[in-house]
Amino acid sequence: MAEGRNLEEGLKPLLRSHTEKHFTAREIVRDVIIGVSDGLTVPFALAAGLSGANASSSIILTAGLAEVAAGAISMGLGGYLAAKSEADHYMRELKREQEEIINVPEAEAAEIAEILSEYGLEAHEYSPVVNGLRKNPKAWLEFMMKFELGLEKPQPRRALESALTIALAYIVGGLVPLVPYMFIPTARKAVLTSVAVTIVALLLFGYSKGRFTGSRPIRSALQTAFIGAIASAAAFGMAKAVQA
């Protein structure tokens, strides 16, 4: 016991000096990516298509702003419903797991042993863990939710935060390709500026997305810009083809 206490005291300075920095805002970043990527691409394609149809800058701007408003509401609502569904699913599984721990504790304990054995632990190594969890129902339930079902407890305000984050990100992204139409009355000139501004924004956004998600930033930037360019070119070409 004395050796154990000495070891614990010896490790405390190391634990204090070793603070791991992990990125914990995955859900927020995911919402921002969804909102900005769609916000940059959809109004960009719409504006390009209307420019191909020889619409005036004022009409393109009006249609673009209407689309941004509708898209933000739609995307935000979709994010809310998705997060709400995840929360409802978690609560259903939590209730089911609680009932199983009460009604069939031996089967649930065997599942703990099976999970731990998958990590290479032997019976004499995981048995104390199983017994310890059985004495702590709350920890037992959390263990089963995380390691058996792979479910993380959702934040109480996750649905509302997701809706607002996606909607605001969509608005920010959607305004980028429309800004030139606010200052350039000639649509043909505005569309060229819009293309240049939006491609730069897509490159920057793709690069940032790659940095946050751990993928190759340059590759992510080029892929994001390429998708946006293809979408706008398709809309522009279709408008020209219909006119012809």
Mean pLDDT of the chain: 79
Q: Would you state the pLDDT for residue 4? A: 43
Checking if the pLDDT of 7 tops 60, the result is no
Q: Which of 144-148, 164-168, 177-181 has the lowest mean pLDDT?
A: 144-148
Checking if the pLDDT of 28 tops 90, the result is no
Q: Would you state the pLDDT for residue 151? A: 75
Checking if the pLDDT of 100 tops 70, the result is yes
Q: Would you state the pLDDT for residue 73? A: 94
Distances (CA, A) of 205 to 9, 37, 154, 169, 218: 47, 8, 27, 12, 11
What amino acid is encoded at 17 in this protein? S
- Where residue 8 falls among pLDDT bands split at 50, 70, 90? very low
Neighbouring residues of 119: CB distance < 8 A, sequence distance ≥ 6? none
Q: Average pLDDT, stretch 139-158? A: 79
Is-contact 40 198, C-beta < 8 A?
yes
Alpha carbons 213 and 193: distance in angstroms, whole number: 30
Alpha carbons 61 and 59: distance in angstroms, whole number: 5
Residue ranges covered by each domain of the chain:
26-243
Q: Average pLDDT, stretch 155-177? A: 90
Q: Average pLDDT, stretch 78-82? A: 90
Token code pair at residue 103: 């009604």
Q: Average pLDDT, stretch 151-172? A: 87
Q: Average pLDDT, stretch 66-77? A: 93
Question: Using one digit for the tens of pLDDT, what is the confidence trace for 184-235?
Answer: 888 888 888 888 898 888 888 888 877 776 778 888 888 888 887 787 777 6
Alpha carbons 31 and 123: distance in angstroms, whole number: 43
Instruction: Give the largest CA-CA distance in the chain.
Output: 89
Q: Would you state the pLDDT for residue 116? A: 79
What amino acid is encoded at 175 in this protein? L
Other CB atoms within a 10 A radius of the CB of residue 21 amount to 5
Distances (CA, A) of 165 to 31, 74, 78, 133, 151: 6, 13, 12, 38, 22
Q: Would you state the pLDDT for residue 244? A: 55
Backbone angles phi, psi at 48, to 5 degrees: -65, -40
Checking if the pLDDT of 171 tops 90, the result is yes
Question: Using one digit for the tens of pLDDT, what is the confidence trace for 53-70?
Answer: 778 888 999 999 999 999
CA angle 103, 94, 122 (to 5 degrees): 70
- Where residue 242 falls among pLDDT bands split at 50, 70, 90? low
Is-contact 201 169, C-beta < 8 A?
no
pTM for this prediction: 0.73
Q: Would you state the pLDDT for residue 243? A: 59
**Residue 63: left if φ>0, alpha if ψ -120 to 50, beta else—which one?**
alpha
Is-contact 48 236, C-beta < 8 A?
yes
Alpha carbons 100 and 90: distance in angstroms, whole number: 15
Q: Would you state the pLDDT for residue 3? A: 43
Question: Using one digit for the tens of pLDDT, what is the confidence trace for 121-147?
Answer: 777 777 887 788 777 778 878 878 887
Token code pair at residue 155: 């934040």
Checking if the pLDDT of 105 tops 50, the result is yes
Alpha carbons 101 and 240: distance in angstroms, whole number: 65
Q: Would you state the pLDDT for residue 25? A: 57
Report helix, strand and coil shares of the chain as percent, to nearest 5.
85, 0, 15
